[in-house]
Amino acid sequence: ERRGGRVVVRTGEDVTEQYRRGAACALRLYQLLGWKAGVLKERSPSCGCGAVYDGTFTGTLMQGDGVCAACLKEPGIRVYGESQVGRLLEDLER
C-alpha cells in the first residue's frame, strides 16, 4: 500500500524502489510500442489512478495515484482504471 510517497508491505518493508523500477520499465514499453493509453488495476499501489490504499492495511482509500500510474501520466499517457473501460472506448472514438 502507499504510505505517503512510499510503498510498503504489511510487515512494514519498504518496496518503493522495486515499484519505481517496474514503473520505469512499463513506461519504456509504452513508449516503444507507441501506446497512448492504458487500463490499470484500480486502487493498487502501482496502478491505482485517483485513489489508492493508504498504507494502514485497513481497506482505507486516499486520493492519489500508484507509482506506475503516476509515471505513465507524467509524459501524457492516459491512464484508466478497469471500471473505466467504457470511458476509454468513448475517448478513442473522438
pTM value is: 0.91
User: pLDDT truncated to tens, each residue of the chain (94 aa)?
Assistant: 999 899 999 999 999 999 999 999 999 999 999 999 999 999 999 999 999 999 999 999 999 999 999 999 999 999 999 999 999 999 988 8
Helix (H) or strand (E) holding 80: strand 78-81
pLDDT at 94: 82
Residues 6 or more apart in contact with residue 35 via CB below 8 angstroms: 29, 77
Residues listed for the chain: 94
Terminal CA-CA length for the chain: 35
Q: Are 54 and 43 in contact (CB under 8 A)?
A: no
